[in-house]
Structures are given as structure tokens and as C-alpha cells.
Structure 1
Amino acid sequence: MTSLRGAGRGVRGKAAGIAAVALAASLGLSACGGDSAGASDGTFTVGHPEPDHLMPANTTSSYSFDVISEVFDNLMTLDQNGKAVPLAAESVDSGDQEVWTIKVRPGQKFHNGEPVTAQSFADAWNHAAYGPNGMSANDYFSDIEGYEAMNPEDENAEPEADTLSGVEVTGQNTLKVTLNAPFSQFPQLLTYPAYAPMPKAGLKDPKAFDDHPIGNGPYMMDGDWERNKQIKLVAFPGYTGARKPKNKGMTWKSYSSADTAYTDLRAGRIDVLQTIPSGKVPEAEKVLGDRFITGEMGTIDYLGFPLFDKRFADPDLRRAISMVIDREGINKAVYNGDYFPADSLLPSIIEGHRDNACGELCTYDPGKAKQLFDKAGGFEGTMELYFSNAQPTYAQWMRIVANSLRDNLGIQDIEFRQVPASDYFSMLRAREEKGPYRQNWEADYPSAQNYLENMWHSSDNRMGWKNEEFDDLIAKANRTADQQEAVKLYNQAEDIAIREMPMIPLWTWARQGGRSDDVENVTITPYSTGLLGHEVTVK
């Protein structure tokens, strides 16, 4: 399939967002705004870093998603188990995984009173997919027929079309969507915020829409976005969907320092913080008690290899390096034992995760590692280890890895390459790295495909790894309607990637947040839905 789903998408999307949250956590700047939480009026306050945009298709930032997911209802949403279920849609069906029929639930309205119809979605998707509009999430529409005509490879060329030929409005509440190739995970893709609908007012004045988005979700804007201060939302009285608010509204307060946000949580000046800085977690567990919120996330750290450098071509060398990394020891030393050492290429919250899928190759065994290392002929030259400066923990665990490489494999010439966060992913895209590099991934939607195809597929991966059997299995899984059968095929592809080990899985992140005494029923999912704001109750 011709698709931009892959490395480029991940850099602009969740990987970039994670790097940004780590950078925000490491800054020592003061918070913006100073109002106390407003529990007495039935609303609550959440702390988070400042979003970049609030137009759904013009952002891939998780901080923007915090707000967008409350203001808009997508056709599909994720339940608490990560399964895609209808929200603004009545149904999403296909007989061949290539042509999809979408029925929009009738009776919905935007916050300005305009009806939500199939055309509302088609207009939004065409606006997002049209290259000259410059939407950040443009390439999330690359699976739909007609995308290439709207996005010529030559940036100076005029697009041949301004609408997606694969999106047809066949009735007031019916869409027919034709993809470039069969893709069984399309209902999952429809949960991504970029697929939200837009009213006519948003299309007429996109800039005003970014300051004051008009959605179809359970909450509406209360005034315009107060940039670098706060975004106030109130419950939408005309909402007819499944997420009826149990509170009167919420305020998203912007912070440039995660430490300051945590201090405000402790002091009761905010009610919810989804991410507590790792250095404050031991204290937070004691101070917050049952108000500390934890759980496994979908984010995995990996160590990738530049296979375009012949020194890393032998799989036994890569396997040796994997087996000399003490994941459990690093977890205890750097992450207070709160992270989850990887035993698979997929986190456990993703359907298709298999306990111990990685087997001995992800198990610390210096003796076996040295045997594999010697079998591969050792390593010549300087071993350069690459990571960004977004988070001090990266340097901490890289030093531990380096010590193990010296002590157990005899690699003495090791140098660290700490790269500014703003330059790190562009360096990887340009394949300028000369050694193993830190990589992470948080899924756009919770599917094994989103990890495996985006990170390992021959057309997309950063390692320069090519495996036709892997690619064929992914394509076959994408065509398979039966999800259990699709997962089996994704797992077969995963087994190949584990055996070849072009990229080593390290550990899955932990969600570590907290709430104040003034709110209850606070659920923070490990998916793009994040905080389930509509479920929060205010005392």
C-alpha cells in the first residue's frame, strides 16, 4: 500500500509529543496563571503543558488532544480496554476492508446549533488532506483514495484535486470511504483526533476556529483560548451522545514546568495532573496516597541500530547487545521500579501482546551475550550512543548500558551523542546517526499494526532494515477482517523482527498522575483519550 503511515507520522505525532512533555518536565520555568481550582461551582481544573493548536487536523500533540477529545466526538472512540467502538457513528462496516460504509448517528448538533451530518466529516477530511492547507495531521489521510492527487511529491506543483476521491457522501448521514488498499484497522484510525468533523463556520475562518473550536462533543468552549494561560470548557446542554458529563465543566491550565504543576496539585490549586515528573513520583506516592494514579502506558522505549552501517549488519551482534542490557536493573535504578521491562515489541495493553514473546533475547544474560558477540566477530571502532536532551533519565540509562558494554562485551571505546530534542528526530530521519539510538513509540491508536508497520516496515523504518516476509505478513494482516486472525499474522511478523532484532525493546512507560481531594472518579486511560473528563465528579 502507498502510505505515509510510518516513521514520518510517528515523529510528528506521539514521539514528538513525548519528547516535548519530557522537555517541559526538565524546564525550571514558572506556571502560567494562578487561579485556584474551582470545585465549588461544579467544575474542576487540570494541569498540562500548553497546546500548539486546537483545530483537530492541525495538531499531533497530546496536550492539544486533551482538549480536543472533550470538545469533539469522533465517529469511533476507544473504550477503556482500547477497543474501537462507535461514538458519533452508528456503524462502520466493510465487506473487503477496502471500501467502508459509515452511518453517522442522526440528531447530533455542533455547539453553534448546526446539524452534524456526513458532509461535516467529508468537509473536515478534505480540508485536512489538501496539501496547501498545511495541516499537521495531513498524512493521516494518506490511506484514502485520492490523497496523492491532493499532495503532489513536487512541493511546487499544483494539486490535481482539492477533495478526496475516496470519500463520497451518499446520504445525509452516510459516507462511503474507499482506501488505497485493504486496511482492517481503519475503525481504529477513525478514533484519531484528526478525523473529527468541522462545521461550516470552521471552514470559513480556520484561524478563529483554532482559537475557539466549535465541536460536537460533551463540552463547549467558555470564551476563547487564553493562550499560555488556560482553556475553559463547560458542559454542552445540547449534547446527545454517550459521554454525558457528570460535572459542569473543566479548565485546562497551562504550565511550562511539570514541577510547578505538581506543586500546585499538592496545594490543591489544580485537581488533576496526568503526568507527575519522575523525580517527584516517590514523594507523590507517599503524599497523595490513594489519590496517586498509576498504570501501564502504551509507550515503549527502544534501542535502534543503523543497519546501513555494516558494523551492525550481523544479527548476533544486535542480539548480544540486547542480552547485555539489564532492563530490570535499569528500571529500579532510573525509574524507581515503576516501569515495565519489555518482553515483547508490543506493550501489554495492546491486543497481540504475548508474555515473554522476546524470550532469552530480552533477558539479561552477559555470558550468552558474550558468546554471540564473539560469534559475530566483535565490534570495531567507536560505539556511539545517541539520545536527546529532553529528559535526564535518558543519559542515566545510557551510561548504565555503556558500562555493561564495557564490562561484559569488552567494548571500551564508547562515546555519548546527546542531541538537542529539537534536532533529534530530524537527525534520525536523515540517517545521520552512527550508532545505537534511543527511540520510543506511543501508538496513534491501540493496534499491533500501528507499532509494527510504523516502526519496522521496510518502506518506513529508520534502521534501514528490509524483510520481505515481514512486509508480506503485515499486508496480509491488514487485509484480514477477522481481528483474531489478523493478530496472529501480526504476531508472526513480530517474531521475525524479534529474531532479526534491528531494534531492541527496552521498557514500557508507567502512567503516574494524581488528583486532589475535591474530585473523584478520575480515570486516565493509556490511550489517546487520556483523561475521561466527563466521568469526573466534583465534591
Structure 2
Amino acid sequence: MKRSRIGIGAIALFSVAALGLAGCSSDSGTESTDSASSTAIVSTNGNEPQAPLVTTGTTEVGGGKILTSIYAGLVSYQADGSIVNEVADSIESDDATTWTVKLKDGWTFTNGEAVTSKSFIDAWNYGAKFSNAQGSSYFFDNIVGFSYDEDTELTGLKAVDDTTFTVELSSPEADWPLRLGYTAYMPLPSVAYEDIEAFGENPIGNGPYMLAEEGAWNHDVEINLITNPDYDGVRKPVNGGLDIRFYTSQDAAYADVQAGNLDVLDAVPDTQFENYEAEFGDRAVNQPAAIFQAFNIPYYLEHWTGEEGKLRRAAISMSIDRGEITDVIFQGTRTPATDFTSPVIDGYSDSLEGAEVLEFNPDEAKKLWAEADAIAPYGDTVFTLAYNADGGHQAWVDAVTNSIKNTLGINAEGKSYPDFKSALDDRVNAKLTGATRAGWQADYPSLYNFLAPLYQTGAGSNYEGYSSEEFDSLLKEGSKSATVEDATAKYQEAQEVLLKDLPTIPLWYSNVTGVSGDTVDNVEFGWDSVPLYYAVTKG
């Protein structure tokens, strides 16, 4: 039996409901298309990307912030997370399995090459190919022809003509278009495949911004972007470009905003939580965002696998006083976690079976630790929690390790890396000697996005080696569900497996806390905590 035709409008309505946020979505990008853009450059904070800027290879926030600025996908996310067609003219299906994508005419990359069906099909095939080892490859695992184990072609992708292609999924997904604003699904020009790493140093996109010149990425310092004069999409910039500066500390970035040397900061350091709203007034923001924070303990370390590992993970979790830490250190900018997602995502829960393991319970923590010691003594081993010093994490890491130390009577301390890139490198290469700070800023507004990339066996961001057949099975059942409600139920069951295994120790959900200088106006932060840069006016 055929279902009624599913179009982008229906999905957009779904995504608004999914977020559960009050207020209207931003349309400042579309309004700006009739007015001339300012030539003033907006400065903002960022992180040195971990890898070359390739759409299917970048899975961290620093690189993602740049890629979403220089590329345009089939859809874009508005401030509240709802989607609007960008390069796509329509995305439709009769059965939620085979989707027909029609592109708008006239789109080009900044080198003049036309954006066609092939631009998307080739990019997705490159991202999915096993030997290319792309961090976002799992985003294509629902397309017919995908393989985790060998090089295959996505046979589910077929070009009808230059501006039309079809996508056959391995099972129905009614909300599939909701994914398509993520960078992994963006198109690439043909020149990219001549030398993908060199291309990643000077990427050529089709979005609202482009690199100011060849070599505009000054590693460990900044990247300079200017507006793309040929861009006429829904995110038309009203400024002249972006200088994204890579700070080694949030305090330094905050001081630059105070001094008028930085326009927009999207992460206030914890040292300023008590002062920033009073100091910046209506130029300060503190609002919910799709950000989950935790720490992971690698499965390749002694004491953290099998029954002993489960006992120790639960003991560690129950030895942390999340309520006190979020009150004292974060002062209303964090909320203790009750699941593995975010309160702004539809399907979030504060009543999952087994969630009591996330509550502070010193007596139970000591009991479980003793049971683990009966299996294999922990002895004088120091429990370390790694973090990147450029992210403003030291205060909470010290508080968490002190809580663990005071509860369990073991040696526990933080381990500082100079920057995010070096910390992530050790995670990627399985070189950690203890626990590591972890977190997730959603790629698109869905429970699935908080689960599959991090905990599915072999997933691109599953660096610490978790694998569970039960979890994988429930995740797959959820992705094949005919309704959002059925999918949510399966994803919640999958989280109950995580609560037993604790591959990550959930800590809290983050608000986006940001400030902007009096040099700029119209600063709005999106559902994922990233400012809508194209809407910022200056001068």
C-alpha cells in the first residue's frame, strides 16, 4: 500500500515539533537577499580543525563551523532546527524508501563548476567508500550498496539528469531529509578527487562564504573567509566575511571581546559565568542547545572491560555529584544529564530504566567499587581524566576528579592536553592512558544522531571501542520504524542498554553561553549553539 507523498514541508513541520522550542525561526537570511551586503569582516572564535577540510572527513566542531560556512547542502537548518530547501528544489517520496531529489538551477562552486546531481552522488560515494576511511562514512549506511567492510558503490544513488537524482534507502525513513543539512551530505567539485588532502587545505565550496585566498587557513592561528558573490541561497550574508580565530583559551577570547578585538564569542569561560550577563546585558545569551557532555573510559585499558569494567563504570558515575558541580561551577548554564541526548530534542527522557546510575550515591558507589576490586584489585592506579586546555574544562574536571577521589578513596586527577586537536588525536589513535572528556554537538535534530555516531559498533566517533549487539540491533530497529513515535521508543530502549554498559559517563547538558561586542548587531545563536554568522551585521 502506498503512503501519501512525503515532501520537505512535512519534514520541516516535524523538525519544528521535534525541537520543542518556543519562538519563531529566523528568516533573516532570506530577507537580506534584497539588500547589499556590508564589506565589514566579522571576527569570531574557533578551534584548529583536526584534519583537512573535507565534508565527509570532518566530524568535530572546529572544522564543522568552517565547512557549514563555505558549503550549501540540499537543505539548511534555521535557528530553531527546522529545515528549509537550499540547493534542493524538492525532496519527495511515495514510500519513505526511494526519494527523488530535484536541484534548483544555477548553483555553482566558487571555481565556476556547476553543482549537479553528480556533484552529490560522487561526494556521497567518496564518503561511503571503505578505503577512504572518512569519519562520516556511517551517515551513508542506510543507502543501498553501503558496506562497512569493503569498497562498494552506493547503488541506491542514480542520476536521472543533471538536476535530478534518486536515493534508495535500505529501509523506510520518514524523516530522512532531516539529515541533509549536515556537512557529510554536501556536494564536492570534481577537482576535489585529484588530491583530496590538498583540496582540504584550500576547499572550494558553494556556500555563503569562501576562502579569502589560497592559504587563507593559517594553521593554529585563524582562517579568513569572504562572502561568495555568486551565492544566492537562503543564508545570504549581510557582512563581508568571517575571521575565525583559533584561541588556546576561552579566557583569552573573552578578554578580546571585552577589549573590542573580537566580535562574537560562542563559549563563555566558566571563570566569567558570574559576571558575563551583567557585563554584556542584551549582548549576552544563555539558552538551551543540543549539546551533551560526558567522559569516556576506553575499553582497551586494564580494569574497564567485562564484569569488572561494568562495576567500575557504575561506581565512577555514582561517585560524581553532578548537581553540586553544575550549581557551583556552571551557575545555571548546565543541567545534570538523565539520558544520552538533549532536552531540546524530541524523545529526550528523564525516566529511562536504569537512570539511577547517573545519581550521586556514595554508598552504592563504594559498594560497587569493592565488588570490582574483588575481581581484580585496582591498587595504586591513578584515575586520570584528559581534557583540552583550550576549551575551558579545567574547573569542572578538577571538581569531577575530586568528587571521585573523595567518594571512592582512590587517586584521581585531570590530565591536560594543550589543545583540542592533540587531545582528539590520542583518542583517534587509541593512545589514551585514562578517561577522556567527551561530548556531542548535534549534527541534526534527532535522537539517532546522539547515538549512532558515538556508540554503534565501528562508528566514526566511537573512538573508545564500545560494541554491543543488543544496542546495535535496537538502533537499527529504530531507524527502520515507520513512525517517529516507534523510532523514539526503540532509541530509548537502546539508551537503557547504554545505562547498563556506560561506555560514556553522562555528566550534563549545556546551554550555549555567548557574548558579542557592540561592534555587531543581529547576533542570533542556533539550536546547535552555532551563531548564524550570515545574519550578523557590522559597521
Q: TM-score, normalised by structure 1?
A: 0.76
CA positional deviation for 1:340: 1.9
8 A contact 1:110–1:216 mirrored in 2: yes
Q: SS in structure 2 opposite 1:331?
A: helix
- Which residue is equivalent to 2:3? none
Structure 2 CA distance for aligned equivalents of residues 260 and 440 of structure 1: 23
**Pairing partner for 2:348 from 329, 345, 353:** 353
- Contact 2:79–2:525, Cα closer than 8 Å, also in 1: no
Secondary structure of the residue that 1:344 maps to in structure 2? coil
Query: Does the 8 A contact of 1:97 with 1:183 survive in 2?
Result: yes
C-alpha distance in 1 between matches for 2:315 and 2:60: 36
Partners of 2:323 and 2:458 lie apart in 1 by 33
**Aligned-partner residue type, residue 62 of structure 1:** V
- Aligned AA (1:327): R
Q: 1:387 aligns with which of 374, 381, 385?
A: 385
The equivalent of 1:118 in structure 2 is 117
Cα drift, residue 341 of structure 1: 1.4
Q: Would the aligned equivalents of 2:333 and 2:513 in 1 still touch at CA under 8 Å?
A: no
Q: Compared with structure 1, are the counterparts of its residues 484 and 414 closer, same or farther at alpha carbon in structure 2 (3 Å cutoff)?
A: same
Contact 1:297 1:527 in 2 (8 A): yes
Instruction: State the distance in 1 between where 2:129 and 2:425 align.
Output: 24
Give the conservation status (yes or no) of the 8 Å contact 2:127–2:137.
Answer: yes
- 1:42-57 matches, within 5 Å, as 42-51=40-49, 52-57=51-56
Determine if the alignment matches structure 1 residue 366 to structure 2 residue 362: yes
Pick the aligned partner of 1:251 from 242, 247, 251: 242
Report the equivalent of 1:22. Answer: none
Q: How does 1:124-523 map to 2 (within 5 A)?
A: 124-130=123-129, 137-138=136-137, 140-148=139-147, 164-179=154-169, 186-203=176-193, 209-210=199-200, 212-228=202-218, 231-245=223-237, 247-258=238-249, 259-304=251-296, 306=299, 307-314=304-311, 318-357=313-352, 360-367=356-363, 369=365, 380-382=377-379, 384-391=382-389, 396-405=395-404, 407-408=406-407, 411-416=408-413, 418=415, 420=417, 438-457=437-456, 468-498=469-499, 501=502, 503-523=504-524
Residue 534 in 1 paired to residue 528 in 2?
Answer: no
1:13-162, aligned counterparts within 5 Å?
Answer: 41-51=39-49, 52-94=51-93, 97-130=96-129, 137-138=136-137, 140-148=139-147
Deviation at 1:75, TM superposition (A): 0.9
Sort the Cα spacing of 1:87 and 1:496 in 2 relative to 1 into closer, same or farther, 3 A.
same
Task: State the alpha-carbon separation in 1 of the partners of residues 373 and 458 from structure 2.
Answer: 29
Say if 2:269 and 2:392, in contact at 8 Å, map to a contact too.
no
Determine the C-alpha separation between the residues in 2 that align with 1:122 and 1:466: 31
Q: Percent identity?
A: 29
Aligned alpha-carbon RMSD (Å): 3.9
TM-score (norm 2): 0.76
User: Would the aligned equivalents of 1:60 and 1:137 in 2 still touch at CA under 8 Å?
Assistant: yes
Question: Contact 2:398/2:414 (CA < 8 Å) preserved in 1?
Answer: no
Amino acid at match of 2:258: R
- Alignment-mate amino acid for residue 471 of structure 1: D
Instruction: Report deviation, 1:522.
Output: 0.8
Offset at residue 185 of structure 1 (A): 5.7
Distance 1:320 1:230, change over 3 A: closer
SS at match of 2:232: coil
The 10-residue stretch of structure 1 (353-362 or 205-214) with the greater mean CA deviation from structure 2: 205-214
Question: Which letter maps to 2:388?
Answer: A
Q: For 1:47 and 1:429, how far apart are their aligned partners in 2?
A: 24
Following TM superposition, by how much is the alpha carbon of 1:476 offset from its aligned partner in structure 2, in angstroms? 1.4
How much has 1:191 moved relative to structure 2?
Answer: 2.0
Aligned residue type for 1:418: K
Instruction: Tell me, in whole angstroms, the C-alpha distance in 2 between the residues paired with 1:219 and 1:527.
Output: 20
Whichever residue aligns with residue 474 of structure 1, its letter is L
Could you tell me which residue of structure 2 aligns to residue 31 of structure 1?
Answer: none
Q: Supply the distance in 2 between the matched residues of 1:133 and 1:323 (Cα, whole angstroms).
A: 41
Q: Is the 8 A contact 2:120 2:187 kept in 1?
A: yes
Secondary structure at 1:343's aligned position in 2?
A: coil
8 Å contact kept, 1:217–1:239: yes
Count of aligned pairs: 486
Per mean C-alpha deviation after superposition, the further-off stretch among 77-86 and 463-472 is 463-472
Question: CA separation in 2, counterparts of 1:265 and 1:403?
Answer: 32
Q: Secondary structure at the match of 1:56?
A: coil
SS of 1:198 mapped into structure 2: coil
Q: Take 1:210 and 1:426, find their aligned partners in 2: how far apart are those partners?
A: 18
The structure-2 alpha-carbon separation of the partners of 1:398 and 1:53, relative to structure 1 and needing over 3 Å to count, comes to closer
TM-superposition CA deviations, 1:479-526 (whole Å, max 9, x none):
024223312221232234335555431112332222111221111224
Question: SS at the partner of 1:70?
Answer: helix
Deviations 1:183-234 (A, max 9, x none): 5664343222132123345556757754554433233444334232654444
Residues 62, 397 of structure 1: CA spacing in aligned structure 2 closer, same or farther, 3 A cutoff? closer
Specify whether residues 376 and 267 from structure 1 end up closer, same or farther in structure 2 by C-alpha distance, changes over 3 A only.
Answer: closer
1:432-489 residue CA offsets vs partner (Å, 9 max, x unmatched): 8787654333333332112223344456667776655443322111002422331222
Preserved contact between residue 386 and residue 419 of structure 1 (Cα < 8 Å): no
Q: Could you tell me how far apart the structure 1 residues matched to 2:115 and 2:145 are?
A: 24
Aligned-partner SS, 1:80: coil
Displacement after TM superposition at 1:353 (Å): 0.9
| Deviation readout 1:49-99 (Å, 9 max, x if unpaired) | 344544433433423332322222101222323344432223334455554
Residue 362 (structure 1) shift:
2.7
2: CA distance, partners of 1:285 / 1:126: 47
Provide the rounded CA distance (Å) in 2 between the counterparts of 1:230 and 1:417: 28
Q: Which amino acid aligns with 1:443?
A: A
Does the aligned pair in 2 maintain the 1:230–1:251 contact within 8 Å? no
Q: CA deviation at 1:174?
A: 1.7
Cα distance in 2 between the residues matched to 1:168 and 1:75: 16
Give me the whole-angstrom Cα distance separating, in 1, the residues matched to 2:272 and 2:159: 51
Aligned partners of 1:272 and 1:128: how far apart in 2? 32
After TM superposition, the structure 1 stretch with the greater mean CA deviation from structure 2, 377-386 or 163-172, is: 377-386
| 8 Å Cα contact 1:46-1:250 kept in structure 2 | no
Is contact 1:525–1:532 with CA below 8 Å preserved after alignment?
A: yes
Q: Helix, strand or coil for the counterpart of 1:239?
A: coil
SS in structure 2 of the partner of residue 243 of structure 1: coil
Letter in 2 for 1:44: V
**Conserved 8 A contact 2:41-2:243:** no
Q: Contact 1:144/1:164 (CA < 8 Å) preserved in 2? A: yes
Q: Which residue of 2 aligns with 1:11?
A: none
